[in-house]
């Protein structure tokens, strides 16, 4: 099916009402494309896309990707899957189905349409890594039967499907491995460290750090991440990936907590709790491929991104009061 025009495409974004999906849709609409947003609203919210409903080039479909979908589009971004431990451990079987059955259904749709399709994979495919930073050729250190396995192994299986559809059917597929991302529209109860710390600080509650706080993460601001996904989608057909997309600056949990307290002006104290099962000690991407192939790297400094995210949560908490 040919595009609507040379410059405008009809693009499907699954998981489009989520944190990342809604920002991606904003960017696609800004470029003049038509967008179909598909989401079952399990871990997302209509609030993230309320500002889009008046746009004639935007359409929302409430649908679960575990079931086949029949639409006509030029490109597909597959972002459908709960991505925080709180959400994906709530119903681990459904999480695994979303990754695997969802990938099969979306790939089947792309095969019928002969259109390009991008999989939003994750740094969790590396598990608790034995090498640091993580390169794309590292196979990972994943517990296949742990509490996080429904997400980690589901995403690994989805990657396998994307590569097999490329090899067996010649489908143009792209795989992005997303590292920790933060920014406005994060779910306030998703259990992720940035949203946890900010909400706790704004409410004057103790900031909870699991373990001694020396474990590290690399935090990428959402605008930078979306730019990386779109650059990957725009690459020639021979570029499949996987390609790491994330910030290379590494921060400990204690450093992040200290920054959040400074930005919010909170008097919250830090409380240490036991480390969860299979929680990685380190997580930092090697983005050599992103730099050389995509010409991409994260630009937003952590403090600036945290300030913008704090303003979002301030507004959210006021509206909920």
Long-range CB contact pairs, 15-18, < 8 A, 24+: 15/39, 15/44, 15/78, 15/79, 15/80, 15/81, 15/120, 16/49, 16/60, 16/79, 17/41, 17/44, 17/45, 17/46, 17/48, 17/49, 17/60, 18/43, 18/44, 18/48, 18/79, 18/83
Q: Write down the catalytic residue from 88, 151, 182, 221.
A: 151
305: left (phi over 0), alpha (psi -120 to 50) or beta: alpha
Tell me if 232 sits within 8 A of 285, measured CB to CB.
no
Cα(125)–Cα(138) distance, rounded to whole angstroms? 10
Q: Which residue has 């403090």 as its token pair?
A: 303
Give the HSE-up count for residue 97: Cα atoms under 13 Å, Cβ half-sphere. 9
Q: How many residues does the chain have?
A: 321
Q: How far apart are the first and last CA of the chain?
A: 49
Find, among 133, 142, 162, 95, the residue nearest to 250 by Cα: 133
Token couple for 10? 């009809």
Tell me whether residue 182 is one of the annotated catalytic residues: no
Tell me if 248 sits within 8 A of 284, measured CB to CB.
yes
Tell me if 320 sits within 8 A of 197, measured CB to CB.
no
Token couple for 57? 């080039």
Active site residues: 151
């Amino acid at each position: 099916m040919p595009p609507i025009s040379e410059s405008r495409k009809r693009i499907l974004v699954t998981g489009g009402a989520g944190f990342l999906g809604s920002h991606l849709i904003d960017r696609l609409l800004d470029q003049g494309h038509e967008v179909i947003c598909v989401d079952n609203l399990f871990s997302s919210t209509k609030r993230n896309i309320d500002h889009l409903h008046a746009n004639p080039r935007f359409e929302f479909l409430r649908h679960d990707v575990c079931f086949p979908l029949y639409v006509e589009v030029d490109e597909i971004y597959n972002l459908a899957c709960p991505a925080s431990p709180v959400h994906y451990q709530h119903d681990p079987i459904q999480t695994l189905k979303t990754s695997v059955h969802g990938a099969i259904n979306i790939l089947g749709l792309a095969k019928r349409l002969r259109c390009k399709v991008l999989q939003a994979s994750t740094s969790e495919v590396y598990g608790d890594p034995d090498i640091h930073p993580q390169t794309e050729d590292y196979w990972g250190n994943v517990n296949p039967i742990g509490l996080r396995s429904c997400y980690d192994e589901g995403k690994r299986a989805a990657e396998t499907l994307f590569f097999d559809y490329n090899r067996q059917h010649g489908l143009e597929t792209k795989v992005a491995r997303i590292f920790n991302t933060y920014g406005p529209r994060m779910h306030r109860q998703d259990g992720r460290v940035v949203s946890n710390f900010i909400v706790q600080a704004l409410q004057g509650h103790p900031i909870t750090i699991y373990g001694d706080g020396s474990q590290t993460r690399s935090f990428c601001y959402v605008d930078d991440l979306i730019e990386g996904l779109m650059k990957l989608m725009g690459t020639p057909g021979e570029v499949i990936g996987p390609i790491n997309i994330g910030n290379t600056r590494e921060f400990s949990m204690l450093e992040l907590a200290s920054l959040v307290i400074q930005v919010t002006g909170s008097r919250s104290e830090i409380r240490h709790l036991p480390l969860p099962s299979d929680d990685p000690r380190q997580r930092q991407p090697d983005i050599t491929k992103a730099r050389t192939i995509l010409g991409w790297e994260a630009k937003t400094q952590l403090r600036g991104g945290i300030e913008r995210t704090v303003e979002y949560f301030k507004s959210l908490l006021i509206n909920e009061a």
